[in-house]
Chain A
C-alpha cells in the first residue's frame, strides 16, 4: 500500500486558442489505507484528478505522487475501476481477471490461487468461463473490481464505478464494497457525484467546486462513523437513517447547492 499526493496540481486545456482552467491548486494527500471520495458537480475535474493518479492524463502544473514516486504513465500498481467497466468483451471472466497478473509476471499457480480467491470474494463462482456480455451490469462491475483487487495494487482508483448500475444493484455493490474496504483496508480514491454513496463509503470526503476545479472543503467521516458505530448496522438504509449520517449528507448537499447558486449569477 501507499499514499497518493497531489501537490499544487493544475490542469489547463487549450481549445481553439482559448485556455480553459479545469483544475487549479489541488493539494491533497490520501493516506496509506485511507478511503477518500471526491464529490462535485460534473465538470469540476474530479475524474481528471483520478486519471492523473492513474497516469492516463498529465498535470500542467504541480505533481501527482503515488508512494512518493511521480506518476508518469499507467501501470498495474495503480489499478483503475472504470465507470463503463472496460472489460475485454473477447475474454472470459477468468481471462479478464488474469490479464494484469500476466503482465506482473506472476507464475501460473499463484495466478490461479489469487483469481480463485477474488472470484469467491466477489460472488463470481460458476461464471469463470462466461463472457462479459452474458453477465448483468452488476456482475460485470464485480469482475472489474476483482480485476483491480487481484493485482494487489499500491492504490485503487475508482471512477464512478456504480454510476452505470441500476438503483438496487448499486446498493448491493455499495454494501459489498464497504465490507471489502473495512475487512481489507486499502488506499482508495473514489470518484462519485452521489453524496450518500460518498458518506457511506469514505473515510474522508473532498468536496470540489468547478470553474476552475478547486477543493472546497474536506470532511472527515471516519470519526463520526466510528463514534456512531455505523459499521455495526447491516444495511445501507439503516446507516442512512442515522441522524449523524443525515447531518453530514445535508452539509455536503448544501455545499454543492451553493455552487449551483453561483452558477445562476
Chain B
C-alpha cells in the first residue's frame, strides 16, 4: 500500500537519516576488524583516495580523465542506440510488415544481458573502441526502441486521421505526427536507456586497455586497492545520477510545453 506523500522537510530528514545510518554501519564494520582494513576501508579513507585520484594519475590518468573517456564511450553507444532506435521504432509503428519482421528477433536478443556481449565484442573488436560501444549500445537500445514503438503505435487515431485528411504522406506523418506524439514516451525510454547504458559501462571497460573508470577499477582490483575500486563505484554512481537528473529536466521541460 502507498501511504500519503511525506511533507518535504520530513522527506529530507529521513533521506539524511538513511545516509547517516548506512555510513555509521559501514564505519562500525570497517573499524570492528571483521574484515581486514585492506578489503573494507573506512569511509574517510575512501574519500581521501577519491580526492587523491582527482589530481594524481592512477594507471596513466587522473579520475576526471578516466571519467571523460568513459563518458565519451557511453555517449557514442547511447547516441548510436538513439540514432537506430527512434527511426526503427517509428517505422515499425507505421509499417506492420517491419514490426512482424523485427519483433521476434528483438524479443529474443534483448534477454542477452549487455555483459554477456563482452566475449563476443572482445572477439570482434579486440581492445578497440568498437567493443565498449557495442556493449553500451546493447544496454541502451531496447528501451529506446520499445518506448518509441509504443509511443507511436498507440498515438490517438484522431491525429492520424487529421494528418491523412491534410494530405501528409508517410514521411511527414512519421516525422511530424508519430514522432512528436511519441516524444513523452521516447524521453521516458531515454532515461531508462541512459541508466542501462551507463550500468553496462564497467563491463564494457573490462576489455578496454588504457583508460576509463571501469579500467581504473579493474587495475585497482589487481593492485588490491579496495579504496580505488570503491572510488570508481562512487564516481559511477554520482555521474549516473547526474545523467538522470539532466534527462529528467529535459522531460519536465517537454511536459510543460505540452501543457501536462
- Report A's interface with B, CB cutoff 8 A: 54-56, 73-76, 78-80, 82, 84, 86-91, 99-100, 102-104, 131, 133-134, 147, 151
Contact = CB atoms under 8 A, between A and B. Distances in A.
A100 B183 contact: no
Interface stretch (B109-117, B163-171, B226-234, B236-244): B163-171
B255 to A, nearest CB: 11
Contacts of A102: 172
B159 A88 contact: yes
Contact of A76 (B161, B166, B257): B166
Query: Considering the complex of A and B, which 3 residue pairs feature the smallest CB-CB distances, nearest first?
Result: A103-B167, A133-B259, A100-B166
Nearest to B260: A133
A82 B158 contact: yes
B174 interface: no
B126 interface: no
B207 interface: no
Given A88-B180, A89-B259, A133-B259, A103 B166 contact: yes
B258 A90 contact: yes
27 contacts: A56-B161, A73-B164, A74-B161, A75-B165, A75-B167, A76-B165, A76-B167, A80-B161, A80-B165, A82-B162, A86-B159, A86-B162, A88-B162, A90-B258, A91-B176, A91-B180, A99-B166, A99-B176, A100-B166, A100-B167, A103-B166, A103-B167, A103-B168, A103-B169, A133-B258, A147-B166, A151-B166
A102 B159 CA distance: 17
Interface string B142-185: 00000000000000001101111111110010001100110100
Contacts of B165: 54, 56, 74-76, 78-80, 100
Contacts of A79: 165
Contacts of B158: 82, 84, 86
A90 B180 CA distance: 7
Contacts of B172: 102-103
A82 B181 contact: no
Contacts of A74: 161, 164-165
Interface of B: 158-159, 161-169, 172, 176-177, 180-181, 183, 257-259
Given A78-B165, A100-B167, 11 more contacts: A73-B164, A76-B166, A86-B159, A89-B258, A89-B259, A99-B176, A131-B257, A131-B258, A131-B259, A133-B258, A151-B166
Contacts of A89: 258-259
A36 to B, nearest CB: 19
Nearest to A105: B167
Nearest to B166: A100
Contacts of B166: 76, 99-100, 103, 147, 151
Nearest to A99: B166
Contacts of A151: 166
A54 B166 CA distance: 11
A90 B186 CA distance: 15
Contacts of A56: 161, 164-165
Given A79-B165, A100-B167, A90 B183 contact: yes
Contacts of B159: 86, 88
A56 B259 CA distance: 29
B259 A134 contact: yes
Nearest to B183: A90
A96 to B, nearest CB: 9
A99 B168 contact: yes
